[in-house]
Structure formats: C-alpha cells, structure tokens
Structure 1
Amino acid sequence: MPSFDALLAMPGAAIALQAVGSLIAVLLVFLVVRALGLGDDVRIADESEARALAEAAHCGFDPVEVALDRARIGALLRNRAGEVMLIRRHGARFAARVLSSHAGARLDRGFLTLSTDDPNFGTITLDLGEKAQVWAASMRRLGAHA
C-alpha cells in the first residue's frame, strides 16, 4: 500500500481529496441546518394555532375573529376591544404586530396588502378571498395614520 505522500503525488489526487473534503463539509452543514429546523416550510395550521401565536406575541390578546391567508403564511385577528393583530411568516417562525392604523392597507379583490410602521416587519399580501373586503372595511375603525 502506497504512503499518504505517495498518494498525494499522484496526478489529480489533491483535487480529489479537496472534493471529498468539500462534500463532507457540505453534508455537515446540511445536517446542522436540518437539526436546527431551518428552511422548513412553516405555515399556520388552523385558527387555533393562529390564536396561540397571537397570545404568545401579545399577552392577553384574546381574538374573537380570525382570518387565515389561503396559503397559511399569515393571519389577521381581532379582539373584543377592536384591536387588529397581523401575524406573518418571518423565516422559519412567525412575527406579529398590533395594527394602529389602516393607512398601510390596500385592497385588491381578494387580496389585502398590509404594512406597519415597523420597517423591519415588512409588507405582506394576504389572500383572504371574500373576507378581504370585510376586513379592509372594518380596519378603517383603527383611525388615521398618525
């Protein structure tokens, strides 16, 4: 059996060794990403999960009305006080904001596009179907943009 130095002296051996090392590194990164749950296709399962997300985001927010996006990437929730919370997918998790204004709302048929005062939260378009018009109209009660 030839020595390690003799193997490296063979034409293309160093390149093959680099390729094997790179493949092992890529597989290790893949395993770490899977173990951390990164890259999953996260969606809101149902209204009860949306309610739980709202409670986790804002203690005491008790929704009485929920509208889920058809793709389950976001939701709108309203509590008894008339406050509206927007939940949206943010990477492999969900982020939520209580909306203070209807100024960032735009209706286009069954789609409701919403943005907040928080530039880090971004803008989301929810496919609410027939509920989009009802939610857009009811959000006017939130007041003018301050």
Structure 2
Amino acid sequence: MSSPEVLFSEPGARWRAVAYGPAFCLAILLLEILTDSPVHWFALIFCAVLIAAFVALQVFAARRHVSLALTETELRSGTEVVPLREIAEILPPRAEPKFEEDWESARALGELSGVPRRRTGIGLRLRNGTVVQAWAKDHRGLRAALTAALPAEENGADR
C-alpha cells in the first residue's frame, strides 16, 4: 500500500543549520592560520562540537514539534494529526488588521501552548464544533492547499 500524496509540508527546521557553527569556527581557524596568530585548536574544535550538538538538538525538536504535512487524508501539525474528514470549515483570515478574529484565541494544533514563533494561524472548525488553529510559515500556501483538499461545501466557500 502506498502512502498518501503530500500536498503541502514544512520541515520545521533544516539539518544544514547544524553546519553553520562549525563552518564559522573553521573560518576563524583559517583566519588564525593565514594571519600567523596563535591557533586555538582546542577552543575552536570544542566550540564547533558544542555548537553543532546544541543546534542538532534544536533541529531535532523543531522537526518533531514544528513540522507539518498535509496529505490527501490528514493534516499533521507537530505531533497532532487531524483527519481531513473531521474538518468542517476553514475560517476566513483576519478581515481588519486592528481586530482579532475569535478563532485566533483558539487552541493551536500540536503539543505546543500556542502557534509557534514565526508561524501564522489558520482557523479551522471541526465537525464536533471545536475551533482550532492550524499554522504554517507559508500560511497562504497551507490555506490554499487545505481549500483544494477539502470539498467545496466543507471549506466555507459556499457561505
């Protein structure tokens, strides 16, 4: 059995971020060698390993808790999965910048206490009447993909 097609996804963080700290330490090392200054081998190697380890931990956590994927059958936000058949309506975005919509104070999907930093919420009304927030960096892309994935009568297009 094949897995459902992914319609939209965000990884949460990228593994290449782990290399940034060690690359910076390598640049400092090369600068020290080229300028005939004392080379701080131990300190630079220690810092490179320490920075890489901390960033790897952050990337691992972000890929688990801040990633999302929309398939033909479900929306996964962090660690929470919502079957698309349970989504009754995609609520409209904020009409006026000054005024907050009711859904913006709803529970965010996933294990986090709210919408993750640098992400924007999208209001969803579930079939049981509960209002929740899906979220994404590219919230317009997620909204478009959700609208396309849900039948027209379920995404608020007929209201």
TM-score when scaled to structure 1? 0.36
TM-score when scaled to structure 2? 0.33
**Larger RCO, structure (CA 8 Å, separation 6 or more):** 2
Question: Which of the two has greater strand per residue?
Answer: 1
Larger radius of gyration: 1
